[in-house]
Amino acid sequence: MPNATVPPTDLHRHGGDGWVTCGDHRHWGLFGAAGLLLVRRDLDGTPSHLVLQHRALWSHMGGTWGIPGGALAPDEKPAAGALREAAEEAAIDPAAVHVVGTHVLEHPAWTYTTVVADVAPGYRVEPRAADPESLEVRWAGLGDLGSLTLLPAFGEALPRLLTLLG
């Protein structure tokens, strides 16, 4: 059985992987990072569920819930990076995603872009843990978010992100 606190050796890797020091803390992604906040809506158009990732224990702040995402590759645009990461980590087909906006968290030496999106018309998304970076990936009801231990930065940003959903 693999060690739950040590990353596996078969992870997706690219030139943007690495830590950036920002004051007294670090961020993952030499060129910044991005993630996909994918929403499913009720028949009346009200947001009802989000795709959430239960982060592997060996990852930074492992064991918390957030969105699929990670470091941007060199010269990669945030939306492309978020869609790539969601495909790698959560088996989400980029064609099934309709981007509706972005939210950028800026630090002096690093940025994180949350790409906010709906499931594209005519598509059905069944997210799943597609690589070792996740303990689980699933649709989570908005009413269930209070019972999950959220990645702190995601939890902080969530009220603002929800306003982008309309």
Alpha carbon distance 160, 155 (integer Å): 10
**pLDDT tens digits for 29-78?**
677 789 999 999 999 999 999 999 999 887 777 899 999 998 899 999 99
- Higher pLDDT: 16 or 83? It is 83
Alpha carbon distance 75, 105 (integer Å): 19
Query: Residue 11: pLDDT band by 50, 70, 90 thresholds?
Result: low
Alpha carbon distance 147, 115 (integer Å): 24
Chain mean pLDDT for the chain: 87
Question: Is 83 exposed, middle or buried, given 0-12, 13-18 or 19+ CB atoms closer than 10 A?
Answer: buried
Query: Residue 117: pLDDT band by 50, 70, 90 thresholds?
Result: very high
Alpha carbon distance 21, 4 (integer Å): 25
The pLDDT, as a whole number, for residue 6 is 56
* pLDDT, average across residues 106-131: 91
The pLDDT, as a whole number, for residue 96 is 98
The pLDDT, as a whole number, for residue 12 is 58
E-assigned strand segments in the chain: 19-22, 25-28, 33-41, 47-55, 65-66, 69-71, 97-107, 110-119, 134-141
- How far does CA 57 lie from the centroid of its chain? 16
